[in-house]
Structures are given as C-alpha cells and as structure tokens.
Amino acid sequence: MRDAFVVQYDADDPAGQRALAMHTDASLFSVNVLLSDPEREFIGGGTLFDFVRKGLNEEDGAGAEPVAATEGSWTVRPAQGTAIVHSGQLLHGGLRIERGKRYILVGFIEVRRETPYAVDDSCAAAADAFAKFGHAAWTREALGSGELLVRLHPQSPEVEIHLAAPMRIDPQSPEVEIHLAAPMRIDPQSPEVEIHSAPPMRIEAAAAPPSSSAAHHGPWMPPSMARANKGASDWAAELGARIQGNSFAPFVPTRTAQAARLVALGGITASDVVCDLGCGDASLLCTLVRQTGCSAIGCDVNGELLARARARIADDDACASRIVLSCALLADFMHSAAFEPTTVLLVFLVPQQLEALAPDLRAAILPSAGHRRLLSLRYPIPGLVVRGSIGDEEGSSSSEDEDESSSSSLAHTTRMDDAPAWTSSPAYFGRSFGGAYLY
C-alpha cells in the first residue's frame, strides 16, 4: 500500500470539500471504503466511474465535477463499510454531497509487475487485466464486522486490509485500523506505507500470516461473503456482473441475426467445434449451437459470467450436451489440451487484447495446427491477413440480417435486456456488433 488516507466531504462547512473532480489515481488499484452511514450521515455523494473515457486530459473528462447518470458511467453508492476496489486507471470522482459529512478511507495499492497472479481467482485475473490493459474494475465486499477486504495471491506482496469493527468512524475516536499482513514484501527502495489521516489511524503488521495464506488452493472467497449485508452483496453482484465480467473486454451481447451472419462468414457447420475466447455468459455459443448443431468450447476469466453460462446451458438440452466451459486466462487456455479440438476460433475482444494475443491467435490457425478458422468480431487482428469480412449490420446492405423477430425468441436476448443500456450505446463501445473478420 503506497498511501492511505481518510477523505472528508463536508456540506455543512461552506469551505468544506463537497465533491471530487474526475481523475485517475496513481495506483495499480485503489480501495475506497465508505466509513459514514449513508442513511443517516449524509445526503448525495457516491463514487462515479466512467468506463468510456480515459481521463488523460481535460477534453477526456479529467478535472470535471462528476455528474451522475451520464452515458457510460456508473455510480456506486455502497452501504457503510463496503469497499470498492477499482483500477487506479479508471476515470472516477466523488459526487457532490448535499447534506452532512461523508468520510471515506482511500488506499492506493501497487503490485510489482513481475508478481505472478493466480489464475484461479477472478480478483487476480482482474489484477492481471490492470497490469496489461490498465482499465478494469472489480469489487470486494467489506464487512459488517471487519475482515479481509482485499487480497492478492499469497505469492504476491501480501496486502490485506482489515477494518476493525465497528465500522463507524468518529473523528474523535478513530476505530479504523489497517493491518498489513506479514510477510510484507515491500520494496525497500521505495517509501512504502505512508499514511495521511485525519483522524489518525493505527497501522500494524500482523503477527503472523493468516493460516489461509500458507496453503492457498482453489478460488479465494472473502470470508465475509456469507454474512455480508444484503445491500452490499446486491450491489456487488450487480456491479460485478457488469464490470468484473469486463476485466478484459466489455461484455456486449451479440444478436441472433448477427450470429447467422457469423455462421455464413465462418462456414460453421455441425461438424465444427467453435471456441469462443471470452465467451461471457455463452449466449453466442448457445445460439451458434442451435443454429448449426456444432459443438462448442467457451472460455472466460470471469467466474460470475461463467456461472451464468453454466446455468443457461443446464436449462437447455441442445446446449448441455455440446458446450464445454472453462475458466482461465485466454492465452493460457489456448495452450491447454481443452482448446485442441477447436476448428473455429471466435474472439470479441478489445484491440489492446487482440494485439497481446495476436501471436497466439496466429499460431492457432497455422496449417500445422489443423487449418482452423478464426473469426474476430468488430476489430481486426493486427498482423494477420484477412480472408473475408462482414460489415456492421446497420451499415450493411445485405438483407439477411434484418429479422428482428427471430432474435426475440431466443434466450440470449434476455441477456440483452439485462445489460445496462449504455453497453449498447455508441459512446460505450461503438455499436454492439460492428461486423467481423475471417482469418
């Protein structure tokens, strides 16, 4: 942890700070814990995240006071004691409070780049996404009674933040403690922990590493998960589904009519094994399986979206027998045995990720790898020679794709209704389809 401090927003004092302009933090990720009671202690406030703009300069949103409900933004108003953990690179700001005082604890955390992340943990996968792409967000809940908030892989510099119960902060008698778990592998060259706080906080190195860190197997879950208050868990689930799932690329559903055009472009038939790298809730795979009778493989780093995919598939006999799902980092998955049967590889990823994966994608379609076809939705893959393409649905003059009614009967359109409206808005991710390239 590079820095931790308490921020006070004060609507009662004319000279007090009431809002915080849109900005990015100089951190790998930031922790923001609401210390005040939003029911009783202040009105307004909240943290606004902007998933569209990068905030590198004023034109791009930095420096402006956050305004709620803009397109492509998401306001988080957590319950007291809930932590928001987000990429420092994500543009965000503190919304104006109208009444009272709002205290938050903010911490900036950095992790050395060479640190290996665990693949079995969506938190770690998100951290990896930060390291690679600089924007992603995920959440962890904190804790009615004060426990583990944030944790990276045990082999990484162990950062844990414990909040001692009760959570309520009283400026006269601070009841917030930050424990940094031992061993604290902090770079001795840099000034490690610097705390600015009003009120002062105690910082302690824990006496011993928690037992769970000695042998960490399987996905890590916050111990507080089970008893977290409902408001916080609802919020986290909702936010998680929208954001955590997007640790690599935004989740954008693909419509049925568009799937038919993909089938035509890729020449997908019943004898194919289609692998969707970053399959999300597997709605596209289900549609392809139903349309063509193909088999399918889905891979995603996001456990929550995969859980939805599993539920979707379990309800659908046609899909249940034909789709195999895996939770893994995409590059790792491409080198696993589970990937081998693939005959058609499907990606719907952002350009930075396509660039990072390009060597693996190229290797996957070499003749020696079995003449696979590769379909990239929306974005071309740098350095690969395009063999065919289709344009955006609206921009295309072909007529086969305008059948709206056919899409409404299928399950994946339900997912579209679930998706926040802005995910399909041009400001967010261009149009929701944007054509495809065949390699």
Ligand X SMILES: O=C(O)CCC(=O)C(=O)O
Binding to ligand X in span 106-135, by CB under 6 A: 106
Identity of the residue, 23 or 310, whose beta carbon is nearer to ligand X in the bound complex: 23
Which of the choices Fe ion, ligand X, none does residue 242 contact, using the CB cut-off of 5 to 8 A by kind?
A: none
Spell out the residues 6+ positions from residue 56 whose beta carbon is closer than 8 angstroms to its own.
62
- Asked if residue 302 binds ligand X (CB under 6 A), the reply is no
Identity of the residue, 106 or 279, whose beta carbon is nearer to ligand X in the bound complex: 106
Instruction: Give percent helix, percent strand, percent coil of the chain, each to the nearest 5.
Output: 25, 25, 50
Helices and strands counted in the chain (H then E): 12, 20
- Asked if residue 7 binds ligand X (CB under 6 A), the reply is yes
Member of 55, 81, 94, 107 binding ligand X (CB under 6 A): 94
Sequence-separated contacts (24+) of 330-339 with Cβ below 8 Å: 330/248, 330/277, 330/278, 330/299, 330/301, 330/357, 331/356, 331/357, 331/360, 332/119, 333/277, 333/299, 334/277, 334/360, 334/361, 334/364, 335/360, 338/297, 338/299, 339/275, 339/297, 339/299, 339/364
- Asked if residue 104 binds ligand X (CB under 6 A), the reply is yes
Phi-psi region of 20 (alpha: psi -120 to 50; beta: other; left: phi over 0): beta
Bridge partners of residue 275, in order along the sequence? 297, 345
The DSSP string of 237-267 is HHHHHHTGGGSSS------HHHHHHHHHHHT
Which of the choices Fe ion, ligand X, none does residue 279 contact, using the CB cut-off of 5 to 8 A by kind?
A: none
Member of 3, 25, 147, 401 binding Fe ion (CB under 5 A): 25
- Asked if residue 419 binds ligand X (CB under 6 A), the reply is no
Identity of the residue, 94 or 250, whose beta carbon is nearer to ligand X in the bound complex: 94
CB of residue 66 to ligand X, shortest distance in Å: 9
Binding to ligand X in span 47-66, by CB under 6 A: 47
- Asked if residue 32 binds ligand X (CB under 6 A), the reply is yes
Identity of the residue, 25 or 147, whose beta carbon is nearer to Fe ion in the bound complex: 25
Spell out the residues 6+ positions from residue 163 whose beta carbon is closer than 8 angstroms to its own.
33, 81, 105, 142, 143, 146, 147, 149, 176, 177, 178
Bridge partners of residue 344, in order along the sequence? 274, 373
Which of the choices Fe ion, ligand X, none does residue 94 contact, using the CB cut-off of 5 to 8 A by kind?
A: ligand X
CB of residue 106 to Fe ion, shortest distance in Å: 6
Give the CB-nearest residue to ligand X.
94
Amino acid at position 39, single letter: E
- Asked if residue 27 binds ligand X (CB under 6 A), the reply is no
- Asked if residue 20 binds ligand X (CB under 6 A), the reply is yes
CB of residue 85 to ligand X, shortest distance in Å: 12
Q: What is the dihedral of CA 15, 18, 24, 30, to 10 degrees?
A: 110
Which of the choices ligand X, Fe ion, none does residue 20 contact, using the CB cut-off of 5 to 8 A by kind?
A: ligand X
CB of residue 10 to ligand X, shortest distance in Å: 12
Q: Name the one range near Fe ion by CB under 5 A: 24-32, 52-60, 232-240, 267-275.
A: 24-32
CB of residue 126 to ligand X, shortest distance in Å: 18
Q: Which of 228, 276, 230, 225 is nearest to 254 (CA)?
A: 276
- Asked if residue 401 binds Fe ion (CB under 5 A), the reply is no
Which of the choices ligand X, Fe ion, none does residue 7 contact, using the CB cut-off of 5 to 8 A by kind?
A: ligand X
Which of the choices Fe ion, ligand X, none does residue 415 contact, using the CB cut-off of 5 to 8 A by kind?
A: none
CB of residue 26 to Fe ion, shortest distance in Å: 9
Spell out the residues 6+ positions from residue 42 whose beta carbon is closer than 8 angstroms to its own.
9, 11, 36, 97, 98, 99, 100, 101, 102
CB of residue 90 to Fe ion, shortest distance in Å: 9
Amino acid at position 384, single letter: L
CB of residue 24 to Fe ion, shortest distance in Å: 7
- Asked if residue 3 binds Fe ion (CB under 5 A), the reply is no
3-state secondary structure of 106: strand
3-state secondary structure of 437: strand
| Residues of the shown chain interacting with Fe ion in the complex, contacts defined by CB under 5 A | 25
| Residues of the shown chain interacting with ligand X in the complex, contacts defined by CB under 6 A | 7, 20, 25, 32, 47, 92, 94, 104, 106
